[in-house]
Amino acid sequence: MFSEYLYLGTWLLGGLLLKDKKEYRFLLTFLLLQGGLRVFAIGLSYLGNNLFIYQLIGLVELIGAFFIYRNRVSDKWKNIIFLTTIFYLVSSVFIVSIWSLNSIGLAMVQLAIIGLGINYLWNLYRSKSLKLLNKVPFFWINTAFILYASGSFFFHLMSAKVNMETNDSLFNNAWILEAGFGILRLLIICYTFIFIIREK
């Protein structure tokens, strides 16, 4: 639960430190939307089924990541993200139901984000203006996204294979692991915000 609130804390820190850095507006918008939806999902869980909010979170994750990466990856990713979005929406509405966790769709979302991250690294490697990686702020943001996407991918893949609704212990342990990867992503992003301010 702490990880859900941490999105808003990270957004607030980024907004205070990077208010003059327009190139990070998509990242800050992403954090605000993710944080808002996740906190809303926590509140809704006390009233009943909140899994349809996680369907929206998956959509924000995919589209938000694309806008964060879009100037740093190949143009072909527009089509890949479009097709992944269509697959996600169709599977959420017609195959799984919006009232349950779309594990396969969410796994596909994270796989697409891993692809974006690898394509960014490839473009960075091929760039003639390659700097020391630890001096490139977006390298750290990319690291954060790849780490989270990798952990979340296996979480959703596992939940698609195992009926976690009948195994509370397995579900809770898997969710804690997924939340741990979320916290790791946000801590790396916070480090990046501070790094950007110190380097300017």
Q: What is the pLDDT of residue 175?
A: 76
Q: What is the pLDDT of residue 193?
A: 93
Average pLDDT of the chain, as a whole number: 88
| 158-181 tens-digit pLDDT | 776 665 455 566 666 677 888 899
| 6-55 tens-digit pLDDT | 999 999 999 998 888 888 999 999 999 999 999 999 999 888 888 899 99
Place of tokens 């808003």: 8
Q: What is the pLDDT of residue 19?
A: 81
Across 33-175, the runs of DSSP E, i.e. the strands, are: none
For residue 3, the SS3 value is: helix
Q: What is the pLDDT of residue 167?
A: 56
Distance CA 132, CA 159 (A): 39
Q: Of 104, 188, 195, 194, which Cα lies nearest the Cα of 146?
A: 188
Give the range among 24-28, 33-37, 105-109, 152-156 with minimum mean pLDDT.
152-156
**Domains held by the chain: number:** 1
What pTM, to 2 d.p., does this model score? 0.91
CA distance to 14, 31, 137, 190, 200, per residue, from 194 (Å): 9, 16, 10, 6, 10
Contacts of residue 94, Cβ cutoff 8 Å, sequence gap at least 6: none
Q: Residue 184 above 80 pLDDT?
A: yes
CA angle, residues 152, 10, 185, in degrees to nearest 5: 25
Which residues constitute the domain of residue 16?
Answer: 2-199
